[in-house]
């Protein structure tokens, strides 16, 4: 059969953000896949070098709209480690509360997106309707629905009162009931299960070798969660389980996320019931001590890494972000191979891609030689300098 290449993206209804997936297909079967990034590069890392540490919190928040709290927490933790600040326990608890609410909202959103990609618009509408509840909770706590801006260096900016606590408990109860219903629905509805089970297989060894992270990795039987493996903040105190699935396919990823949401709801309940008294923040210095730090954080999509290098001034010298989606791309290629065209949006959506999160670097690919690598600006200038045109040049043919 003739092989053709179809472009999925950078503009495609299945993609909410620009990325280019080039699929080589034979009939309806995908034979090869290629991911190309770089449509949404905003130069955030460079911009961070020209802003103060306080200003950078809000810049980090804008890396991504859905895991905005993840990026700030990761960054703030790094800065706190650099200047050896001890964050009060109440501050840590409120931070973790927003983290878990964000995870719940992200997973609800993902469930809706996955249902929409599978053409299951009713489930999409219902999950997004219920997601409004958790969005409203976040708005009550922080004052906004998307960019919570609750983190600051040394703690959190807003405290919780009794009315808010009550509302959160009410919301949690409702969300738990709904999520249990969706668990039942997502695993018993024949047309949906038929679409997701056995699709996008990622075996355990492959997931490990290709460095998948987050729910993608956990759906392949590997119980890896930064909250458990390397507890940050107050996570050492919370009782929760790392959810895994053993089917290694999109259904497994659905199950992992659904279970994780219920775990997160339990954590939220625990936090509200055991919220310690005391201060919510400590005063942070404007100038941060010289040094470098790597901060790890379990975002809803997987492990988020921030690297911060300080040179003793009030601005960071270097800030590097490794968003979880970037780590999942190699595994996605593996999952897509030998799948059906109809499964492309589902498999791609199953890693919960956040494309603008992952637009961090430029890789240069030489199409003629097939070589690829990362270059410095000076190298690019040297290599791609315009050749001088000789005046009496004779065309060789």
Partner 1 sequence: MAIIKELVYLLVYPGMLFLFLYSTFCEWFDRKLYARLQNRIGPAYTGRFGILQPVADFFKLLFKEDIVPEKADRVIFSSLPVIGLATVVSAGLYLPLWNFDLRAPGFNSFQGDIIVVLYLLSLPTLILFLAGWHSTNFFSTLGGVRVLTMLFGYEVPLFLAVLSPAVVADSWRLAEIANFYQQFPFLLAFQIIGFFVAVVALQAKLERTPFDIPHAETEIVGGTFTEYSGKKLAFFRLMTDIEMVVGSGLMATVFMAGFSGSVLPSLLIFVLKTLIVISILSLIRATFSRIRVDQMVVFSWKYLTPLAVLQLLISIIVKGIIG
Partner 2 sequence: MKLKLGVFIPELLRHLFKRPSTVSYPFEKLNLPKDFRGTPVLRPELCIVCKSCVRDCPAFAIEIETLSEEEKKYRMTIHNDRCIHCAQCVESCPTGALYMNDEYEIATDSRRKLKIEYIYTRPKKAAQKHSEK
| Residues at the interface with partner 2 (CB under 8 A) | 51-52, 54-59, 61-62, 122-123, 126, 129, 132, 136, 139-140, 143-144, 147, 149, 152, 157-158, 181, 184-185, 187-190, 193
| Residue 269 binding partner per list partner 1, partner 2, none, with a CB distance cut-off of 5 to 8 Å that depends on partner kind | none
Closest CA to 353 of 3, 9, 24: 9
- Minimum CB–partner distance for residue 112 and partner 1 (Å): 12
- Minimum CB–partner distance for residue 331 and partner 1 (Å): 21
| Residue 185 binding partner per list partner 1, partner 2, none, with a CB distance cut-off of 5 to 8 Å that depends on partner kind | partner 2
| Residue 59 binding partner per list partner 1, partner 2, none, with a CB distance cut-off of 5 to 8 Å that depends on partner kind | partner 2
- Minimum CB–partner distance for residue 15 and partner 1 (Å): 9
Return d(Cα 60, Cα 73) in angstroms, integer.
9
Cis peptide before 10 (omega within 30 of 0): yes
Q: Which is nearer to partner 2, 255 or 335 (CB)?
A: 255
Q: Which is nearer to partner 2, 149 or 208 (CB)?
A: 149
Q: Collapsing DSSP states into helix, strand and coil, what is residue 157?
A: coil
Q: Which is nearer to partner 2, 25 or 219 (CB)?
A: 219
Return d(Cα 204, Cα 275) in angstroms, integer.
38
Q: Which is nearer to partner 2, 55 or 266 (CB)?
A: 55
- Minimum CB–partner distance for residue 275 and partner 2 (Å): 18
- φ/ψ bin of 258: left (φ > 0), alpha (ψ from -120 to 50), beta (otherwise): alpha
**Cα pseudo-dihedral 164, 166, 168, 169, rounded to 10:** 170
| Residue 341 binding partner per list partner 2, partner 1, none, with a CB distance cut-off of 5 to 8 Å that depends on partner kind | partner 1
Determine whether 249 is exposed, middle or buried from the number of CB atoms within 10 Å of its CB (0-12, 13-18, 19+).
Answer: buried
Note the residues at the interface with partner 1 (CB under 8 A).
4, 6, 12-14, 28, 115-123, 125-126, 129, 189, 191-192, 194-195, 340-345
- Minimum CB–partner distance for residue 83 and partner 2 (Å): 17
| Residue 294 binding partner per list partner 2, partner 1, none, with a CB distance cut-off of 5 to 8 Å that depends on partner kind | none
- Minimum CB–partner distance for residue 5 and partner 1 (Å): 8
- Minimum CB–partner distance for residue 17 and partner 1 (Å): 14
Q: Are 385 and 362 in contact (CB under 8 A)?
A: no
| Residue 144 binding partner per list partner 1, partner 2, none, with a CB distance cut-off of 5 to 8 Å that depends on partner kind | partner 2
Q: Which is nearer to partner 1, 125 or 362 (CB)?
A: 125
Residue 81 CA: distances (Å) to CA of 154, 311, 379: 10, 15, 35
Q: What percent of the chain is helix, strand and coil (3-state, nearest 5)?
A: 45, 15, 40
Q: Collapsing DSSP states into helix, strand and coil, what is residue 307?
A: strand
| Residue 36 binding partner per list partner 1, partner 2, none, with a CB distance cut-off of 5 to 8 Å that depends on partner kind | none
- Minimum CB–partner distance for residue 194 and partner 2 (Å): 8
Q: Which is nearer to partner 1, 194 or 203 (CB)?
A: 194
Q: Which is nearer to partner 2, 87 or 123 (CB)?
A: 123
Residue 79 CA: distances (Å) to CA of 36, 51, 157, 158, 391: 33, 14, 16, 19, 58
Helices (H), the chain: 44-48, 53-61, 68-82, 89-117, 121-142, 162-188, 190-196, 204-209, 214-218, 226-229, 250-273, 324-336, 344-350, 355-358, 377-383
DSSP state of 343: G
């Amino acid at each position: 059969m003739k092989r053709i290449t179809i472009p999925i993206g950078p503009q495609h209804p299945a993609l909410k953000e620009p990325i280019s997936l080039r699929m080589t297909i034979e009939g309806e079967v995908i034979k090869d896949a290629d991911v190309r990034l770089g449509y949404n590069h905003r130069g955030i890392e460079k911009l961070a070098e020209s802003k103060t540490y306080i200003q950078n919190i809000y810049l980090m928040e804008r890396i991504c709209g859905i895991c905005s709290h993840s990026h700030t927490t990761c960054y703030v933790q790094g800065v706190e480690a650099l200047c050896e600040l001890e964050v009060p326990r109440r501050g840590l608890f409120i931070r973790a509360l927003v983290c878990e609410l964000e995870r719940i909202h992200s997973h609800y959103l993902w469930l809706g997106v996955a249902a929409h990609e599978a053409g299951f618009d009713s489930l999409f509408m219902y999950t997004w309707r219920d997601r409004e509840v958790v969005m409203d909770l976040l708005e009550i706590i922080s004052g906004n629905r998307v960019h919570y801006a609750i983190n600051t260096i040394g703690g959190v900016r807003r405290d919780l009162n009794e009315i808010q606590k009550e509302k959160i408990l009410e919301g949690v109860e409702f969300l738990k009931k709904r999520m249990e219903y969706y668990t039942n629905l997502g695993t018993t509805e024949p047309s949906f299960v038929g679409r997701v089970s056995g699709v996008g297989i990622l075996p355990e060894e492959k997931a490990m070798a290709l460095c998948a992270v987050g729910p993608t990795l956990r759906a392949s039987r590997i119980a890896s969660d930064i909250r458990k493996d390397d507890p940050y903040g107050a996570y050492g105190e919370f009782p929760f389980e790392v959810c895994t699935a053993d089917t290694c396919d999109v259904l497994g990823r659905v199950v992992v996320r659904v279970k994780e949401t219920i775990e997160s709801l339990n954590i939220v309940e625990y936090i509200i019931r055991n919220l310690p008294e005391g201060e919510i923040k400590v005063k942070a210095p404007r100038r941060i001590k010289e040094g470098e730090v790597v901060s790890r954080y379990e975002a809803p999509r997987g492990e988020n890494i921030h690297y911060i290098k300080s040179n003793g001034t009030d601005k960071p010298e270097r800030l590097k972000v490794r968003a979880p989606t970037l780590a999942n791309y190699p595994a996605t290629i593996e999952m897509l191979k030998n799948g059906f065209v109809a499964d492309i949006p589902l498999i791609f959506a199953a890693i919960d891609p956040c494309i603008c999160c992952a637009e961090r670097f430029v890789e240069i690919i030489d199409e003629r030689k097939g070589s690829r690598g990362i270059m410095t600006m000076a190298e690019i200038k040297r290599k791609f300098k315009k050749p001088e045109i000789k005046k009496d040049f004779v065309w060789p043919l």
